[in-house]
Structure 1
Amino acid sequence: MKILVTGFDPFGGEAINPAGEAVKGLPNEINGAEIHKLEIPTVFHKSAETIRQAVKDIQPDVVLAVGQAGGRYEVTPERVAINVDDARIPDNEGNQPIDVAIQEDGESAYFTKLPVKAMVAAMREAGIPAAVSNTAGTFVCNHIMYQVLYMIDKEFPEMTGGFVHVPFIPEQVTDKPGKPSMSLTDITKALEAGIKAIVEQAGKGDIKAVGGATH
């Protein structure tokens, strides 16, 4: 099995992106799967073009994109991506789409087929706070999750894909009182545990476990 894992470059005035750094720290093999790591730009559409080219070159079985969700306490595999860009801030090239469809011929939403509940269980077993998330936002993170699932729907039906959000790391919150953070070591550990679960659950679907939310 080949797994392409992507992480964004820094954005929003931050000097570092824990997603990109954690991806760089992953081993080249996890649970027998070959891990390919790629940094992608925090730019609408360009990020998707970068992944699409890598998919054509590598032909992975799985694409797992990783992004920063500053303010979250947990590592959060995402369940669903929606077909809208509504950027609160500009991306790294100044683009700020508002209420724009990501793909005019795409579904209103795509649900991942990755075993997000098994991933959360594996992360928690590794001692890392984790939870299923039901919103990937409307910035470049949701955009790239949607684009990956759109590619699977339209071009690469044998592939699976999804997205994981990670918290700030401590050095990012020195000027953000009250904001939670997680060590880069723990974020990388969580991603590795999640990827192990992806490999172990291949062809089996997800586990049955509580992962819903009341709001």
Structure 2
Amino acid sequence: MSGSTPRVLLTGFEPFDGESVNPSWQAAEAVAAAPPAGLDVTAVRLPCVFGESLTALRAAVAETRPGLVVCLGQAGGRPGVTVERVAINVDDARIPDNAGAQPIDVPVVPGGPAAYFSTLPVKRCVAAMRKAGVPTALSNTAGTFVCNHVAYGLAHLLATELPDARGGFVHVPWAPDQVPDGSAPSLPVETVAQGVRALLLAAVPAREDLRVTEGATH
């Protein structure tokens, strides 16, 4: 990474689907306000809109010139923070985005590869968060909504224009106030932020991943 202090761009999303908050943005803000020692972290909120989210991401990358980009998104129902291994080249929206768009079977990047693997050391990131006491797992699907749209768009940007930078996507669970009746899993935003800090400290210096089992049978 260029410069004496590694630059990290951390993004989260605005609320969507009728929610009043989005814990991905809350966690990104918290990490930027109290970043890990030795890292220069900038947080940027992305619109939950196909196309516009990638325009905003590209502008943030151009402005901050980071060596590492980590995009966060909400995955309601998941019990822990999940590091995404792969992003696929398709938008297939079960619900409309915040601008009312609902693309079906549309490529994120026409003519782009079918998928990209994250350039984060994903298993090392999972291990670091677990060591920090944060529930976490490796995920093999980022869905087909705006989160995957951004995950794929980021990967394509890095692969085609920014070969010296690395990045990937991480999903976070609902915050407790989003499920006050306890009917679904949730994590406090500060717990998520603690995990993200551990992830960044693991990801910034490491290009080699751990060779450990994190696979799934289904």
Which TM-score band applies after superposition, normalised by the shorter structure? Answer: over 0.9
Matched with 1:212 is 215
Shift of 1:30: 2.2
Alpha-carbon distance in structure 1 between the residues aligned to 2:186 and 2:158: 33
Shift of 1:31: 4.1
Q: Which of residues 158, 161, 164 is equivalent to 1:155?
A: 161
Shift of 1:28: 5.3
Q: Secondary structure at the residue paired with 1:192?
A: helix
Matched with 1:184 is 189
Any conservation in 2 of the 1:28–1:34 contact (CA below 8 Å)? Answer: no
Q: Which of residues 136, 145, 152 is equivalent to 2:151?
A: 145
Alpha-carbon distance in structure 2 between the residues aligned to 1:9 and 1:54: 15
Unpaired runs of 5+ in structure 1?
Answer: none
Matched with 1:33 is 39
Cα distance, 1:29–1:180 mapped onto 2, change above 3 Å: closer
Q: After the TM superposition, which residues 108-187 of structure 1 pair with which residues of structure 2 at under 5 Å, given as runs?
A: 108-174=114-180, 178-187=183-192
Displaced runs of 4+ in structure 1, greater than 3 A? none
43-52 vs 22-31, which moves further: 22-31
Alpha-carbon distance in structure 2 between the residues aligned to 1:174 and 1:54: 34
Matched with 1:96 is 102
Alpha-carbon distance in structure 1 between the residues aligned to 2:106 and 2:210: 35
Alpha-carbon distance in structure 2 between the residues aligned to 1:86 and 1:44: 11
Alpha-carbon distance in structure 1 between the residues aligned to 2:81 and 2:37: 20
Cα deviation 1:30-52 (Å, max 9, x = unaligned): 24221111011000010100010
Matched with 2:84 is 78
2-11 vs 177-186, which moves further: 177-186
Structure 2 length-normalised TM = 0.94
Matched with 1:87 is 93
Structure 1 length-normalised TM = 0.95
Percent of aligned pairs sharing the same letter? 48
Code of the aligned partner of 1:163: F
Q: Secondary structure at the residue paired with 1:194?
A: helix
Alpha-carbon distance in structure 2 between the residues aligned to 1:185 and 1:151: 30
Unpaired runs of 5+ in structure 2?
Answer: 1-5
Matched with 2:53 is 47
Matched with 1:8 is 13
Any conservation in 2 of the 1:28–1:36 contact (CA below 8 Å)? Answer: no
Matched with 1:22 is 27
Q: Give the aligned CA root-mean-square deviation in angstroms.
A: 1.2
Matched with 1:196 is 201
Shift of 1:191: 0.7
Code of the aligned partner of 1:109: A
Alpha-carbon distance in structure 1 between the residues aligned to 2:112 and 2:11: 22
